[in-house]
Structure 1
Amino acid sequence: MSDLQARFEQAYADAQARPERPDNLTLLKLYAAYKQATEGDNGRDKPPFSDFVARAKWDAWKKLEGTGREEAMQKFIDTAEAVRAA
């Protein structure tokens, strides 16, 4: 396992264990970076406009289209560390 992969998995575990919930924008950034790192580009159908949560998640993930796995992992780590430092 690479150092980046280990740091990514640790950042994910730390984010899951946090007692405080980050704001919604930060949650979307974490979600999008995680999905891009683990699944790659968003190829799912666009949710209906009336499903606000699913649509926001889809849009956030779609914005990272073309981002490489390693870069997405680093984005997740950076965002998770910013949350922890706040």
Structure 2
Amino acid sequence: MSLDERFNEAAERVKLLTKRPTDQELLQLYAFFKQGTFGDNNTSKPGMFDLKGKAKWNTWNEKKGMSQDEAKEKYIAFVDQLMEKYKE
């Protein structure tokens, strides 16, 4: 299976979690997904009253310089970790 296929499969598997990951885990998932899909964050930073948007922006921005393939690998590994941690 190619990296893209494994990445897409992980994105589907994460939707099957029966327990909600922590906010920090969700932010990491978001950041690895965005970095793997779009590369470096080149969007404007959200305004100071958009706390959720700012947290997501900052976490994605921390991945700046990471290749899309590396981000995909890290996303897949992180999904595997969460599946193990939150399985029933």
TM-score, shorter chain, exceeding 0.5? yes
Q: Secondary structure at the match of 1:5?
A: helix
Which residue does 2:58 correspond to in 1? 59
Matches within 5 A, 1:1-86: 3-86=2-85
Shift of 1:17: 2.5
C-alpha distance in 2, partners of 1:75/1:49?
A: 29
- AA aligned to 2:23 is N
Which ranges in structure 1 are unaligned for 5 or more consecutive residues? none
Shift of 1:5: 1.1
Residue by residue, what CA displacement relative to the aligned partner does 1:33-62 show, whole Å, maximum 9, x if unpaired?
000011111010001122110000000000
Greater than 4 Å deviation, 4+ residue runs: none
C-alpha distance in 2, partners of 1:50/1:66?
A: 27
Q: Kindly tell me the number of residue pairs found equivalent between the two proteins.
A: 85
- AA aligned to 1:73 is K
Percent identity of equivalent pairs: 34
Which ranges in structure 2 are unaligned for 5 or more consecutive residues? none
Cα RMSD of the aligned pairs, angstroms, is 1.1
Residue by residue, what CA displacement relative to the aligned partner does 1:11-51 show, whole Å, maximum 9, x if unpaired?
10011232322111010000000000111110100011221
